[in-house]
Amino acid sequence: MAKTMEQSVNVNEVSRISTGTSMKGEINSPNDIRIDGSFDGKIISKGRVVIGDKAVISGDIICDNVDFWGKMTGSLYVRDTLALKDGCVVNGDLHVKRLSVELGARFEGNCKMLKDGEFEKVAGEVSAAAPASASGAASSAASSPVHSSSKSNLGGVSLK
């Protein structure tokens, strides 16, 4: 039987924030990450990051590839390909090697197309910096309960 996918993903190796879940802080994973809830902070992955259509992100994402359907305020640093899907809203700066934009995707900000070797320099500077949106969140994460919100404000756009 022929293999239909280049690389299969073990579901146990995908970190996930489900719909209705809200988190603050920093996620650092060697594996793929999927966000369907709300996240405020920094996401660092050596794999693919998938932002679902119900996701609301505030902060930075540093990874190899991104498939983006949700809403975000912040910067994306992508080693290879960023795919902005129909219905997504991104307010911030993009630093990518390759960019795919579907009809209906919304982006407001600056886009820097990276050359070979530039990702390590740019992403390294961002990784070393403290999380811009979530300063102190890691230390308070253990004491604050996880909560869900039905409304969020994203750069003047009200989400329900």
Secondary structure (3-state) at 32: coil
pLDDT at res. 132: 47
User: Each residue of 86-142: pLDDT tens digit?
Assistant: 999 999 999 999 999 999 999 999 999 999 989 988 888 887 775 544 434 333 333
Q: What is the mean pLDDT of residues 68-74?
A: 98
Q: What is the mean pLDDT of residues 140-150?
A: 36
Q: Using the Cα atoms of residue 63, residue 67, residue 113 and residue 87 in order, give the sign of their dihedral.
A: negative
pLDDT at res. 147: 36
Q: What is the mean pLDDT of residues 2-25?
A: 76
pLDDT at res. 123: 86
Secondary structure (3-state) at 131: coil
Q: Which two tokens stand for residue 151?
A: 């409304």
Contact assessment for residue 28 and residue 131, using Cβ atoms and an 8 Å cutoff: no
Rounded (5°) CA angle 47-76-90? 120
Res. 150: pLDDT tops 60: no
- Count Cβ atoms within 10 A of the Cβ of residue 142 and give its class: 0-12 exposed, 13-18 middle, 19 or more buried: exposed
| Domain range annotation of the chain | 12-130
pLDDT at res. 9: 58
